[in-house]
Amino acid sequence: MTTWEKIKYEYHKGGSAIRQIIMVNLGVFIFTIFVGIVAKLSGFKPEELLEYFYIPSNLGVLLIRPWSIITNIFFHSGFWHILGNMLLLYFLGRILEDFMDSSKIWRIFLYGGLAGAALFVISYNLFPIFSEVKEYKKLLGASGGVTAILVATGLFLPHYQVRPFGLFNIEMRWVALIFVFRDLYLFPVSDNTGGLFAHIGGAIFGMLYILHLQGRIELPNFKKPAFVSNTMKRNRVDEKDISQKRAAKKHRPNQDEIDAILDKISQSGYDSLSKTEKEILFKASE
C-alpha cells in the first residue's frame, strides 16, 4: 500500500466527518510548513504566496481570488491557532457526530465557515470604522466552522453533559453560551476583530441550521437537486411521496423526548438506550 493509499484509507476510515475535517486542516498546515521552508531558502516571505488562500476584505481583490472564499477556512496562522481549533473540534464535534450523519457535520462546518467569512467581508466594507484597514485585512482559520459546530451541538443536545478536565459536569448549552459570550465580551477590546466576526457568523449559521432541522424555521435546501431522467415524469407530482413526508414530519420527536433520552445517556450511557429510544434520536437528526 502506497503512502497516498494509506492517507486515503485513514481519511475514509469509520466515515467520520470530524476525522476528515481534522485531516484536511492538518494536511493544509503541513503544506504551509513546506511553503515556509521553500520561502526561507528562496529569499521571499511565505505570506507572499499564502495570502492568495486567505479571504481579503478588499472587494476588488476578492473578485480576482474567488477561491479564497473556501480556502481561507482551512488555513491557519500558526501552530497554536490550528491546535486550539482542532482540539475544540475533536472533543465537542464528536459529540454531535454521535447523533448526526457525516454529511450534516460537513455542511455545518463548511457553511459555518462561509457565513463567518461573509460576515467579515460585509462588516469591513459596511462600517466606517474599518475604512482605513479594509484595503489590506485578511481572514483565515477554521474558527467559523468550529464555532458553528459548537453552537449546533449546544442547541441540538442542550442537556448533554461534558466534564472539562474531569473537574465538573456542565451541559452543552452552557458550554456554547460561554464561548459565544466570550466572543461578544472580547469584541470591543480585541485586535482580532475579523476573527470574532468569523466566530459570530459561524455561531449564527449553526443556530439557524439546527432550528431548521428541528422544523422551527425553513432554510434553503443546500443539497444538489435530484433530476428525474424521464422527462415525462418531471412535472408529475407524487402524492404518495408527499403524504409520506408529511407523516414523517408529523411524527418527528419533540424536544422533550430528546431531552429525556439525553438525560438517560448522561446517567447510564448510550448503551442503556432501548431500540425505540435510539430510533427517536436517529429521527431527530434527520
Could you tell me where the beta strands, DSSP code E, fall in 2-103? 55-56
Q: Kindly state the average pLDDT of the residues 10-38.
A: 92
pLDDT (tens digit per residue) in 48-80: 899 999 999 999 999 999 999 999 999 999 999
Spell out the domain ranges in the chain: 3-213
Residue 12: its pLDDT value, please? 84
Q: What is the pTM of this model?
A: 0.77
Condensed to tens digits (0 to 9), the pLDDT of residues 163-209 reads 887 788 899 999 999 999 999 998 888 888 899 999 999 999 999 99
Give the integer Cα–Cα distance in Å for 35 and 49.
8
Interacting residues of 262 by C-beta distance below 8 A, sequence separation 6+: 157, 158, 159, 160
Higher pLDDT pick, 254 / 202? 202
Here the cell at position 213 is 432541522
For residue 284, what pLDDT is reported? 66
148 conformational bin, left if phi > 0, alpha if psi -120 to 50, beta if neither = alpha
- Please state at what angle helix 143-156 crosses helix 172-186, rounded to 10 degrees: 140
**Class of the 3-213 domain?**
mainly alpha
Separation CA 106–CA 17 (nearest Å): 6
Res. 11 pLDDT band, cuts 50 70 90:
confident
Q: Could you tell me the three cell numbers for 256?
A: 422533550
- Of the chain, the percentage scoring pLDDT greater than 70 comes to 83
Q: What is the pLDDT of residue 240?
A: 44
CA dist., res. 220 & res. 161, Å (int) = 32
pLDDT for 191 equals: 82
pLDDT, position 15 = 83
Q: Residue 162 forms beta bridges with which residues?
A: 170
Residue 148 has pLDDT above 70, yes or no: yes
